[in-house]
Chains A and B, each alone.
Chain A
Amino acid sequence: MKCIAYFSKAPLTKRGICLPIGLSDIVKASNRNAKSKMTGFLCYRQGYYFQVIEGPHEEVEQLALKISTDSRHSDPCIFINQRINKRCFTEWRVSVFDLIDQSQLFKQFIKIYKIEVANFTEQQKLGIQKFYDLKNLSYSKNYEGKNLRLIAWPDLNHISHSQIVIDLCVKLTKKSYPFNQLLDNEQFGTRDQVNAVLNQFQNLGILTVTEPDVLKKQEIGIVHTKTPSSFFGAIKKFLGMR
């Protein structure tokens, strides 16, 4: 049996944007691995791919060759290429998280290959840092007294898409809100419920947590209750909502 691990770059578009073009095709194709005797995982994050493949020697070699000539990525850096007696992964997984690494897959991988990782060159460390924070920072999950804002919408297929969560996303994607204001009238649930959702956002890496601006403290006191327009009400009525 053999194991190969590498990271590589996603291609640049004509406008110089790093975009995982064809990621869904890659995922579809790599799902064939699940049906064959291959185990391991494939990840994408911030313009980089990371893949670990384990399986029968011949098949892994063939797959590695195919991957090295695939035009959907560039500059592959293979840092593990060795025979193994035992698989580390029991199945084939694909993870397409983007902004943060909290994946069990990595923790598992780093643990198993900790000797190799410790011997990484600076360049290899930089490459893997995209996927795993080697300093292993833990994020503060106390939002008391902080301002919160979402920099992107979460994948609503992986996070609850209840009306409350959607309303919270609508609010936080428009501007920053103090944590305490989100607890007003339990409009988004209890303190624990709001914390839980914010934790999920933080794990996805889409939540920015900042200190309240001292100068704007007085402004924050003003609760922005916009009177919904009549158009909004009319649409609600049309949709059969109260």
Chain B
Amino acid sequence: MDYQKLAIIGEVGAGKTQIVQTLSEISPFGTEAKSTIDIGKEHTTVGIDYGRITLSDDMALGLYGVPGQERYSFLWEFVNQSLWGLLILIKYGKTPNYENLDKMLTFFSPEKSETTCIVAITHCEEGDELSIAALGQEIRVMLMHHNVVAPVINLDPRSQESAKSLLVLFNALNN
């Protein structure tokens, strides 16, 4: 059985649960809890969001969304082996938590493990072209410092089309 994993990581509200829901052909398995602080929505993921795409009788792609907050870093270990790809989601809006992104990049070290990595900016519909370009710039500087060569793209995790073009890019990078 050829079973590969796509790990999806990012801060609260970036769209991890959503992208798993959009891509997964099975009803996704989530671990949500009611939020006790104001995060702009009622629920937050405190475990793993799991989904799957069956490609054939003996091939499948598992989708694993994990929280990006450092106190949930013990979950990162579950998704750090033989990854087909690592997707980092960053929400457009307030300045991202670069310390946290730094910790994620240090932990996953995609350049050392030669894991295909893509960074996607979500909630782009809330911004204008220039500020999004500026955010892309900040992110690219961070990536360069980690010697991570990864494309930074815009993603709408609610859209099938946007999600599929993400997979097209991952597939092209993995070829």
A residues bordering B, Cβ < 8 Å?
A: 13-15, 17-28, 31, 44, 94, 96, 98, 150-153, 155-158, 166-167, 169-170, 173, 226, 228, 230-232, 234-239, 241
| CB 8 Å contact bits of B127-143 with A (1 = contact, 0 = none) | 11111111111101111
In contact, B138 and A155 (Cβ under 8 angstroms):
no
Which chain B residue lies CB-closest to A240? B164
A151 contacts B149, C-beta separation under 8 Å: yes
Known: A28-B131, A170-B175, A237-B55. A20 touches B141 (CB 8 A): yes
Flag if A235 contacts B138 (CB, 8 Å).
Answer: no
Residues of A with C-beta under 8 A to B173: 170
CB <8 Å contact, A19 and B98: yes
Interface size class, chain B: 35 or more
Within 8 A of A (CB), among B117-175: 127-138, 140-145, 149-154, 164, 167-175
B142 CB → nearest A CB, Å: 6
Given A20-B138, A23-B138, A13-B128 contact (CB < 8 Å): no
Partner of A235, one of B61, B133, B140, B154: B61
Find out whether the CB atom of A238 lies under 8 angstroms from the CB atom of B172.
no
Contact B53 A24 (CB under 8 A): no
B residues 64-92 near A (Cβ < 8 Å) are: 84, 92
The residue that B102 contacts in the complex, of A13, A24, A235, with Cβ under 8 A, is A13
Contact among A13, A23, A169 for B134, CB-based, below 8 A: A23
Q: Do residues B128 and A31 form an inter-chain contact, with CB atoms below 8 A?
A: yes
Known: A152-B140, A235-B167, A238-B53. A173 touches B134 (CB 8 A): no
